[in-house]
Amino acid sequence: MTISNASPQLYNEDLAPAKERNWGPFSIFNVWTSDVHSLWGYYLAASLFLFCGSFVNFLIAIGIGSLIIYFLMNMVGIAGVRTGVPFPVLARASFGIWGANLPAMVRAIVACFWYGAQTAAAAGAIVALLIRHESMLQFHQTSHFLGHSTLEVICFVVIWALQLLIIQRGMETVRRFQDWAGPAVWVMMLILAIYLVIKAGGVSLTGDIPMDVLLEKTRDAGVPGVPGSFEALAAVAAIWVTYFAALYLNFCDFSRYSPDERSLRIGNIWGLPVNLILFSLVAGITTIAAFEVYGELLVHPDQISAKFDSWFLALLAAVTFAVATLGINVVANFVSPAFDFANVFPKHITFKRGGVIAALIALLLYPFAPWESGAAHFVNVIGATMGPIFGVMMVDYYLIRKGWLNVEDLYRENGEYRFQNGWHVNALIAAGIGILFSSILPNFTNLLPAWWGVYGWFFGVAIAGAIYYGLRARDVGAVPKTA
């Protein structure tokens, strides 16, 4: 689609509707293999396994969560296919042409946090390999810089720089990279699981890890109920859904390149419920086998690979996990802020420059390492901030506009989406109240029950969506007739 009379303040070639649509089901599938198959994805899955008390409970909780994820990703993905626009441009329909910069900045800042977390995880895999050598171990233990060991800092900077190289050639390079990086991790995950199962002499999926061990490991995680209880299983499903909160917003950054909705759904069905459940199955088997072999619960894959007798296998694991983490960072935490920052100043910031800005912010966050607060807690705090934005956007797109947008006006200063001087007050009020109840009150006050924060993303979606719908109901006469 060619946009006529587009405002230079709202348009550049990177933000324009996608022209080449060659991301078929396999490429969409590999968006998810790249996003899930990372050190953080494994860490979260293994951590959630501990709350379930048994393997069957784990698969039930993860399975229900994965089906919810599939449904939600189809919602935002279809909007991307139909309009061809990236997330910050899609947000203009509900938040206004200038107001959309606020949700774009929220998503960009969240991506910067995740960018740092994933890069640190990849660096940790390399560190775990290097300290197998005695001299490196001594260097790691004795030399420190910026609150970390100097070796950790060096590995972080190297991994950080490698990611910048991938993105320099644009979105087509991203597609080609993820098409082989995601499957490569599956191979390594299977090797890891098979190696440990053989060492353990086989693993019984009905055999449970002792409750006293689980209670000790999960005591301070902030998840309600004891492992295996209904409360714990519901929390596991909720945390699994919340883990993908960022991509609920910007999955249209990728689905916009899909040729049709059928390709999107096929890629999503294999990449989400099927892939997520199988990945979690392998993570669970590996966790049980590692407990049998080493007598301790190891939820970090680099902790497991560090114990391998084979140096070659440890090297293979470290490199593969590092590549996998590069994949998720490029897909989930580079592409989105690149578009988001470009949306704020499209005349001056291109897709590549926006990505570099995100990478630099992640680098500045590294000394503070806010992601070291535990997997479940970090996911909930970060994810909950984006629930209200998702609620407003989906209510606007499906309930108010019935799945139709005037795409050309998304790029015009005086078009349909100008609202109040470029800001849609209804959306800002709804999202603001939603964020109050999803993030601020549960994390910074004691006014709400302790379990509220686990479901913060869901409360944010529901509260913001309902308020927005109520406010928009007063303006129903102003909503254009849908196609």
Q: What is the pLDDT of residues 180-205, one digit of tens each?
A: 666 777 777 788 888 888 988 887 77
Query: What predicted TM-score, i.e. pTM, was given to this entire model?
Result: 0.86
User: Quick check: 274 pLDDT over 90?
Assistant: yes
pLDDT tens-digit series, residues 421-442: 999 999 999 999 999 999 999 9
* Residue 475 CB neighbours (<10 A): 12
Lowest mean pLDDT among 27-31, 197-201, 476-480: 476-480
- Predicted local distance difference test score (pLDDT) of residue 481: 46
For 454-465, the pLDDT digits (tens) are 999 999 999 999
Tens digits of per-residue pLDDT, 350-408? 777 887 888 889 889 888 877 676 555 666 677 788 999 999 999 999 999 999 999 99
Please write the tens of the pLDDT for every residue from 108-132: 888 888 888 888 888 888 888 888 8
Predicted confidence band at 97 (pLDDT cuts at 50, 70, 90)? very high
pLDDT of 483 above 60:
no
- Asked if residue 282 has pLDDT above 50, the reply is yes
